[in-house]
Every structure is written in structure tokens, then in C-alpha cells.
Amino acid sequence: MTDDRPPDRPEDRWRSTTRARALKSAPERRDRFVTSSDIEIADLYSAGTLAESGFDPERDLGLPGEPPYTRGVQPTMYRSRFWTMRQYAGFATAEETNKRFRYLLEQGQTGLSVAFDLPTQMGYDSDAPEAEGEVGRVGVPISSLADMRILLDDLPLGEVSTSMTINATAPILLALYVAAAEEQGVERSRIAGTTQNDILKEYIARGTWIYPPNRSMRLVTDIFDFCAGELPRWNTVSISGYHMREAGATAAQELAFTLADAIAYCEAAVARGLAIDDFAPRLSFFFAAWSELFEEVAKFRAARRMWARIVRDRFGSTSERSMACRFHVQTAGSSLTAQSIDNNVVRTTVQALAAILGGAQSLHTNARDEALALPTEASARLALRTQQILANESGVTETPDPLAGSYFVETLTTQLETAAQAYLDEIDALGGTLAAIEGGFQQRQIQESAYRVQQAIERGDLVVVGVNQFRDDGAGEAMAPIQTIDPEGERRQIARVRRVRAERDASAWADALGRLEAAARGTDNLLPLMIDAVKVGATVGEISDALREAFGVHRELITV
């Protein structure tokens, strides 16, 4: 007679004794623990739990700096160089934003990150009727090369890299950046940075699109093509899960939908005739870091592993550089609370720690007052100091992937990969990323997740300290001044763009815009023509209007 019972495991013995005693002594504790992605957290993790998840150390782990890059994209990671400390900034005017950039560099920041105002993101000049009241409110207004010159004045563009969070108008802002850098004497081979250039997530979660998706994809691949030949140090896209996570996506959805967008960009570039290994090494990613520490670490590790396999197996790459998933992380803006804002410093610290333990190449830490306004100089400095303390005082940078081999982290990494792959399979079954977006698949999934979280907060099942539990009476917290935007800045900005129009060579301007619009109706790469246009005074709004004429505009399909 054979005994078919599973072997007695240490976690089974522990569960039947230790946990039972713990639950009896704490009956108010809930009996089921799950991550944001509804992955159940086991009572105890062991070698048996890890094996049951499907984890194969030979296949799934590897060494830092080697495919599948689970343990990091560099062999030594932070032992030899810290991540880039890249604080996001932009407000009021180009002059004030330039001043903030200089301040942050003086404080030890190692990379620039530009936030643009909504008119710039939507292809409107500062004096357009649609821009009224929005100029400089949530970012810096850039309408012309004159603005870009001021923004970048006396910044070391040949030494520091610049990330630009811009999508629908990304090629225009890249053209302005290249023109301004060349005026400073910086050769194209030395210009380093990133354009976010991720239009697909705008259709999913954010909304700053202009053109129909297929036309927008043409602009994305124009940047791929141009940079492959002209800007070897420029990251052509920062494929963003951050905004989807901010809109309510779970960790698994953020991972899956970001990779689905990346697949779509690669397919578009390959269809255009680019070889995968000509452009994939300059692709980068942008993820959110939330406070659920271990799920976030697992998400970052799973992202690297999944991307290495996608590039190798789906696109046939043989280049290890193409397979490396390099990413920027920003701490979770929508986790910040207007109540008890000092608590936000703690939230941001935990989230930054998750990014570091997960192996980020670049990090922005949010400021304590961002639930109320743009950060003040003092709160921006404290956010930067948070990174510097973690880098220099915590010890977590001294070995690559310090949580590798943890039964819990390795199991969770594998489970997140499985959950994300299920979404990718569903998107493929719907006809791919664009078809799924047009049908509202990703949008509905995110909306439903956001609704469930809000319900849990309102019921009190999900604790938000200082909001639905552990509220402060406010007596012990001194409220510092918040950042305000001087309305006079909008008037100065409008005057500058009108001065550009008045002083430019009207004939050269008309010729440049005419050639650009004609090319937009064809198949030529538009970046060289945009650079020519901005050099003769064409504005962001005027170039966007020329493309509106050639491409048309997108109208959102509302799904219920």
C-alpha cells in the first residue's frame, strides 16, 4: 500500500501550530492577505513554495548584468555607480525652471527632468485661446527656440542627460533641444537624454494625445529612426507604466500594459524597416514605485526578465544590450495625501527603497507637498536628500539585488510574471495593443481596479494613515508655504512668443512649414524638417497645426 500524501513540509508544521496560536492571540487580524494584483500572500515561504510557483533558478535568475537580467542590468549595479538622481521640475517660465535646475544640480542632482505645461503637451502656443489660464501651471511653457534657449542656459548639456516628459509633441521638443544644444556647441554625438515619446499610454490612461494612433505611431518611429543615425546617446522612448499605475492599475497590469506598448512600438519600427538591434538598445521604461515594498521589488525584477525574453523570443534579437530593460522610477504621486503631509516623506522613502532594491537606473522622489501644489525649493531639496541618504547611509547599495534568493521575493516575482503574461496573452487574442486600446480593454481594466481600491479605502479595509485611520488633529504640524505661480509669468511668456513671430524671417518660416506639411503627407522622416523649422522661428503650436492639417485629430471612443 503506497502513501500518496505529500511529504511533510516545514511550512505545514509551522502553519498548524505557530500561526494558529498567533491568530488566537490576535483575532482582529484578517485571515487573507493579498497584493494589489490580488496575489495571495502565503503564511510562510520556503523552498517548497518557491518550487510550486514554477521558479527555475537556472532559467529565471542568472547573474547581474547577464540575461535574463532578473538581478540587474549591470554586473556591479550600485557598487560602482549610483542610479541617476533625476528630480522632475518645470513651472511658471523658462527662466524660473532654469533657476530650479541649477539649484538642484548644486544640491547634488545628477540628471535633469523637464515637466512641460499642458499647452506645450497638447501642441498649443502660450498665446493660444486654448492655453489661457494653463500657461506654466503644471510645467514649463515652451513655445519656441527662444524659450528652449532660456530653459537650457548655462546647463552642461554635454555632460548631464535630460529627460523630457513629452509625448504628442515629442519630436518637436526634441528638435528644439537639438537646436539649442548645437547653439551651445554640443555635438549631436554628445547629446544625452530621453524623450518619453510614449503616445500609447496617453490613449490608455492620460489623455494628452493630438493625432490618430496610427499617425502618432509614425512620429514615434521617426524619433527611433532619426536617433539611430544622429543621436547615439539619446533614449528614443520611455515606455511608461507610471501613468497607468497612477490611474489605478495594479502592479501586474502596470507591468503587462507597459510591455504590451513596448511590443507595439517594436512591431511598428520593424515594419518600417528598422532591425530590432538597431533601436532596441535605446529603448527605456518608466515605472511607478508604490509602498507595497516586496511586490514593487518583484515587479521590477519581473519586468527585466520578461523584456529579455520578449526581445529574444518574439523579435529574434541576439544582442544582450537589446534585451536589457533599463528604467526610470518615480515614487507614487497619487499615494500622497493633502492631510498630514509629513507622512508623505515616509511614504516616498519606502517607495524609493523599493526602486533601489528593484534595481532602477534613474529615480525621482516626490516632494511632501505635492498633494497641494508644485514642490517648493525646500521640499524639492528634502526629496533629493531622501535619495542621497538611501544611497550613502542605508547600505542597500553595496551588493547587487540584495533580496535575490528570498523565498518570498522569488515566488512573488514569478507569480507577477505569470499574472502579467496572462494579460499579454489576452491582448494578443484581441488583435494586439492598438486593437485592444481601440476596444477599451486596458482602459476598462484600470478603471475597475481603481474603483475596487477606492471602495476598499472607503470601507476602511485599506488603511491610508492620516486619512481613514490615525488622523492627526493638525495641531502638531506646521504648514510651510506652498509654491505659487505668478500670473505675470504668463503675460511675459505670451509677449515672448509674439516677439518671436514678429522678428523672424517670414519667407524662411513659411517655406519651412510648407515643406514640413508636405512631408507629413508622405513618408519622409520629419525630424530634420522640424529642426529646420524651429531654427527659423516656427513654434510648437504652428508645427502641431501643420501636422493637424496633414494627419487629422483623434476623437476618443467613450466606453462604459
pLDDT tens-digit readout, 373-417: 999 999 999 999 999 999 999 999 999 999 999 999 999 999 999
pLDDT band at 23 (very low <50, low <70, confident <90, very high): very low
Query: What is the helix, strand, coil percentage profile of the chain, to 5?
Result: 50, 10, 40
Nearest to 224 by CA among 190, 262, 259: 262
In the predicted structure, residue 2 carries a pLDDT above the cut 50: no
Give domain status of residue 500, yes or no. Answer: no
Mean pLDDT of the chain: 93
Distances (CA, A) of 220 to 123, 264, 352: 16, 11, 30
- pLDDT digit string (tens) for 507-544? 999 999 999 999 999 999 999 999 999 999 999 999 99
Give domain status of residue 34, yes or no. Answer: no
Q: Exposed, middle or buried, 390 (CB in 10 Å: 0-12/13-18/19+)?
A: buried
- Give the pLDDT mean for 329-353: 97
In the predicted structure, residue 315 carries a pLDDT above the cut 70: yes
Give domain status of residue 70, yes or no. Answer: yes
The dihedral built from the CA positions of residue 100, 150, 190 and 362, taken in this order, carries a sign that is positive
Range of the domain at 89: 51-459
Q: How many domains does one find in the chain?
A: 1
pLDDT band at 444 (very low <50, low <70, confident <90, very high): very high
Alpha helices in 481-520 (DSSP H): 487-503, 506-520
In the predicted structure, residue 475 carries a pLDDT above the cut 60: no
Give domain status of residue 535, yes or no. Answer: no
Give domain status of residue 241, yes or no. Answer: yes
Q: Which residues contact 99 (CB under 8 A, 6 or more apart)?
A: none
Whether this model's pTM surpasses 0.75: yes
Give domain status of residue 91, yes or no. Answer: yes
Give domain status of residue 321, yes or no. Answer: yes
Q: Taking the CA of residue 251 as centre, how many other CA atoms within 13 Å lie in the half-sphere pointing to its CB?
A: 29
The percent of residues above 70 in pLDDT, for the chain, comes to: 92
Query: In the sheet where 362-364 sits, what is the strand order?
Result: 84-85, 362-364, 327-331, 283-289, 237-240
- Give the pLDDT mean for 195-212: 96
In the predicted structure, residue 217 carries a pLDDT above the cut 60: yes
Q: What is the CATH number of the domain that holds 300?
A: 3.20.20.240
- pLDDT digit string (tens) for 107-140? 999 999 999 999 999 999 999 999 999 999 999 9
Q: Which residues contact 375 (CB under 8 A, 6 or more apart)?
A: 366, 367, 368, 369, 383, 483
* Residues paired with residue 285 on neighbouring β-strands, in sequence order: 239, 327
pLDDT of residue 250: 98
pLDDT band at 486 (very low <50, low <70, confident <90, very high): confident
pLDDT of residue 385: 98
Give domain status of residue 419, yes or no. Answer: yes
